[in-house]
Amino acid sequence: MNHEIEINLEKQDDITIFDIQGDVTAFSEPFFSEAYQNANEQGTSKILLKFYETAYINSGGIAVIIQLLAETKKNNQKIFITGLSGHFQKIFNMVGITKFAKIYNTVDEALADM
């Protein structure tokens, strides 16, 4: 497991894409916080978390994502997720993340629906 993570922001209209590269763990929290703060400063109303099928996400990482979901809900923003492996799609469904964020298979599919 590698603690390195990088989150690049890409703006498309009112959508900010978080291009997440690396493992999502409790160590990722400052990276998500900074990315979210930057997205807020740009006035985003929708956030797309773009993962890669090779992404590793542990329970600490799930907690970080839930924290982000809580912030977006508090700020009346919508959040969407793409690129997760089938395994993590099942886990996100089991822990209730899918009640607050719709999951798509591809970025194009998400952007078309958003």
Entry pTM: 0.93
Domains of the chain: 5-113 (3.30.750.24)
pLDDT tens, position by position, 47-90? 999 999 888 999 999 999 999 999 999 999 999 999 999 999 99
Token pair, residue 92, equals 């996100």
Which percentage of the chain shows pLDDT scores above 90? 88
Angle at 13 between CA 32 and CA 51, to 5 degrees: 35
In 3D space, the residue among 4, 39, 43 whose CA is nearest the CA of residue 20 turns out to be 4
Place of tokens 């982000």: 68
DSSP class of residue 99?
Answer: G
